[in-house]
Structure 1
């Protein structure tokens, strides 16, 4: 099954970005993602425009300078060796600002964005403050790093988290949705999945992503084999599972934003699969996660 919502590595590239998903290119209103690759000594300047951004490392570190009519802030983004080595620190860039990234040793950086109306100050978020959640048990075990989650780090609209799924496990499971505004029960959020898959002894990895129509929105329907650098766009629908092939740990970065007045991640489980949560208390968390660097 092919879908315009699955963008294999390179398909969403534009200019200096290996991935450049904008509201216009995605056909929606709020969420954005850019992946920037900087060579050693490289510099990149971008304008925030009408969106707020969180800059985080996929690999390597950089200096981030944020400037606007109100002044100039300089931050050091220590970064990390890879997305599988632990959480990264990050920098918040407010709307209507410019930001310059400079990397002495080179690296790859994710710019997660959301259109917003409120202007918040530029800030640095340390890796040590990122809440790490072990979600699910058994072969549904995964690790969630809630660096830009609602209720964790203040933004106007942007929600961003990252997930590590050990090889052979399922995450984003049970399938769930957030495509309706139901106060206190469900948020309306567009979502971007960006994938990286760990090699095994030099062999590139793969995984699978499913999105099925929920009866709301455009009827998004995706069954995709995903590899490192792939993107899946989810304007609506039940999404999950995200399946990691045995021997290949899966990473994905989630970027979410929507029209709701409250910045909240409220989901509805698929009624045919919600029962799986009841089995979790009787199973241990996958021990590979308890040993994983957070």
Structure 2
């Protein structure tokens, strides 16, 4: 199994970023993710270059200025405490990100060609989906999903998996372009875990070869701040150990003309979906819902 696709916390740090995954560092064409940690009163300017970006608070609040627009993001205490608002900034822009109280912020990016306007995404507009049932139950915050928020190439969502549950299951892939059936998308998983009485959480991530692409093969123990790169292959399950809820941020982009998330389930495990209607959703979910717009 390869280890190059598992990036333990700190391994891909660069400059001001605790995590910096670019198309160049990942060896692919489109998807990017940066995690920025700012102290109280911190300021971070950056140029978007040939990529579009969504600035998503993981903890704390911030102000994002770009293209003559200024967006104040209320953010949240942590990824386990609530849905966050966010800001979209286009390619070929200069951005200033500041945080009076400090915090941790994800910059989810994708190389693109179209230049869309800078925009604010309210937390109240984020669809919160419960996916699966039983021990496959998980919560998906579809803030940057295709069909939810307009981007050129970028797709980004958050997933919360209660301790002891399996998500990204059945294993699925999106490494071929098959019109109407499957999208070709590179994907990044970024992980955080809920502590229990000061003990950090952990989980496990599996990626297995699909017969297409590079034959990516990963079985990784993942902890807070880790990332896993998925250029191809069946990905899943993502397993949260009992007692520790798991969060992951998914960032996807690819070469398709249509921005869509079309997946193919592993033929040996697809039957598990047929069992879901016979089981209740895990009562621990939703962990939270989007706030009212009122």
TM-score tier by shorter-chain length is over 0.9
Please name the residue that 1:8 is paired with: 8
Asked whether the 8 Å contact 1:44–1:102 carries over to 2, the reply is: yes
Please name the residue that 2:52 is paired with: 52
Q: 1:86 deviation in Å?
A: 1.2
Query: Taking structure 2 as the reference length, what is the TM-score of the superposition?
Result: 0.98
Q: Does 1:154 align with 2:136?
A: no
Please name the residue that 1:42 is paired with: 42
- Structure 2 residue matching 1:287: 3-state secondary structure: coil
Asked whether the 8 Å contact 2:80–2:287 carries over to 1, the reply is: no
- What is the aligned counterpart of 1:241 among 216, 219, 237? 237
**Alignment deviations for residues 62-98 of structure 1 (CA, whole Å, 9 cap, x no partner):** 011003xxxx111101100000011100000000001
112 and 208 in structure 1: CA distance in 2 versus 1, 3 angstrom threshold: same
Where do 1:241-260 residues align within 5 Å? 241-260=237-256
**Alignment deviations for residues 122-145 of structure 1 (CA, whole Å, 9 cap, x no partner):** 000000100000000000000000
- What is the aligned counterpart of 2:94 among 95, 98, 110? 98
- What is the aligned counterpart of 2:172 among 162, 167, 176? 176
Please name the residue that 1:65 is paired with: 65
53 and 291 in structure 1: CA distance in 2 versus 1, 3 angstrom threshold: closer
Q: 1:173 deviation in Å?
A: 0.2
Q: 1:292 deviation in Å?
A: 3.6
Give me the whole-angstrom Cα distance separating, in 2, the residues matched to 1:215 and 1:282.
Answer: 33
Please name the residue that 1:192 is paired with: 188
- Structure 1 residue matching 2:24: 3-state secondary structure: helix
Asked whether the 8 Å contact 2:139–2:287 carries over to 1, the reply is: no
- Structure 2 residue matching 1:290: 3-state secondary structure: coil
Give me the whole-angstrom Cα distance separating, in 2, the residues matched to 1:186 and 1:138.
Answer: 27
Query: Taking structure 1 as the reference length, what is the TM-score of the superposition?
Result: 0.98
Structure 1, unaligned runs of 5 or more: none
**Alignment deviations for residues 213-253 of structure 1 (CA, whole Å, 9 cap, x no partner):** 00000000000000000000000000000000000000000
- What is the aligned counterpart of 1:206 among 184, 195, 202? 202
Q: Does 1:119 align with 2:115?
A: yes
Please name the residue that 1:290 is paired with: 286
Asked whether the 8 Å contact 1:191–1:233 carries over to 2, the reply is: yes
- What is the aligned counterpart of 2:265 among 264, 269, 279? 269
Please name the residue that 2:26 is paired with: 26
Please name the residue that 2:103 is paired with: 107
Asked whether the 8 Å contact 2:204–2:239 carries over to 1, the reply is: yes
Query: Over aligned residues, Cα RMSD in angstroms?
Result: 0.8
**Alignment: residue pair count:** 290
Give me the whole-angstrom Cα distance separating, in 2, the residues matched to 1:141 and 1:211.
Answer: 20
Following superposition, which runs of at least 4 residues in structure 1 exceed 6 angstroms of deviation? none
Structure 2, unaligned runs of 5 or more: none
Asked whether the 8 Å contact 1:85–1:293 carries over to 2, the reply is: no
- Structure 2 residue matching 1:193: 3-state secondary structure: strand
105 and 26 in structure 1: CA distance in 2 versus 1, 3 angstrom threshold: same
Q: 1:3 deviation in Å?
A: 1.2
Give me the whole-angstrom Cα distance separating, in 2, the residues matched to 1:102 and 1:152.
Answer: 27
